[in-house]
Copies of this chain bind each other. A is one copy, B any other.
Amino acid sequence: MASVEYPIEVRELIAELKRLPGVGPRSAERIAVHLLQNRRATPLDLARALESCDSRVKSCGSCGFFAGESTCPVCDEKGRDNKIICVVEQPTDVIPIERSGVYQGLYHCLGGRLAPLDDVRPEDLRIGGLIRRVREVEGMEVILATSSDVEGEATANYLAEALSNINCSVTRLAQGLPAGGGLEFADELTLTRAFEGRRGF
């Protein structure tokens, strides 16, 4: 007597859930079970939200941020400083910067970062478009805001090199202690960066 298993539909749902980041086999099963039998679960609402994201959320042809069919909430916004462009890895990186309110310039979303091991090469990123945009406006500032890990640094270095023969200034976000963070929680590299980047008081 073979042991009874989940129906094929449930096994397929578990397989799809397992592909999400941070969801292992056990959580995938738990989420599937919740969707199947919790009275408050709304699997069809989730299905519809997925479909509507897939069909309606597009990328801005210029900066790569989420945009409607013909307008981009960043590029088309009045009052932004178009002499400064902040280069981020993903469109989602724009959100925390916008929430901080510290920056009022334009953005350029690369769509990832250089990662030879994952087969992400310069031609896979929106680097050509960045160079075109920087060339268009004389004397732009380009802030490289890729992550401060190895691949983010490598991407920043590559971009700095690619932009070096254009008339623009290239900067990189400061590294140091996080605001509100004590020395006891800082790793060695963060401390090194904080010392290297110390400023007059």
Chain A residues with CB under 8 Å of chain B are 1, 3-7, 9-10, 12-13, 15-17, 19-23, 27, 29-37, 40-54, 56-57, 65-66, 68, 73-74, 77, 79-80, 90-92, 94-95, 98-99, 101, 104, 111
Say which residue of B22, B44, B99 sits within 8 Å of A50 (CB atoms).
B44
- 7 CB-based A-B contacts, threshold 8 Å: A4-B65, A5-B95, A7-B57, A13-B49, A13-B50, A29-B92, A36-B91
Judge whether B7 and A37 touch: CB under 8 Å: no
Given contacts A3-B98, A13-B53, A47-B51, 16 further A-B contacts (CB under 8 A): A3-B99, A4-B98, A7-B57, A9-B49, A16-B45, A16-B49, A19-B42, A19-B46, A22-B30, A35-B50, A35-B53, A36-B92, A43-B50, A44-B54, A46-B47, A50-B50
CA of A90 to CA of B20 in the docked complex: distance in angstroms?
25
CA of A36 to CA of B156 in the docked complex: distance in angstroms?
24
Judge whether B73 and A4 touch: CB under 8 Å: yes
Judge whether A101 and B3 touch: CB under 8 Å: yes
Judge whether A30 and B36 touch: CB under 8 Å: no
For A35, list chain B residues within 8 Å (CB): 20, 50, 53
- Stoichiometry, as copies per complex, reads 2
Say which residue of B19, B20, B53 sits within 8 Å of A10 (CB atoms).
B53
Question: Interface residues of A: mostly helix, strand, loop or mixed?
Answer: helix
Assuming the contacts A66-B7, A73-B4, A101-B3, asked whether A57 and B34 have C-beta atoms less than 8 A apart, the reply is no
CA of A51 to CA of B77 in the docked complex: distance in angstroms?
39
CA of A21 to CA of B42 in the docked complex: distance in angstroms?
12
Q: Which residue of B lies closest to A91 (CB)?
A: B37
Say which residue of B5, B9, B33, B34 sits within 8 Å of A52 (CB atoms).
B9
For A74, list chain B residues within 8 Å (CB): 4
Judge whether B31 and A66 touch: CB under 8 Å: no
Closest CB-CB distance, A121 to chain B, in whole Å?
13
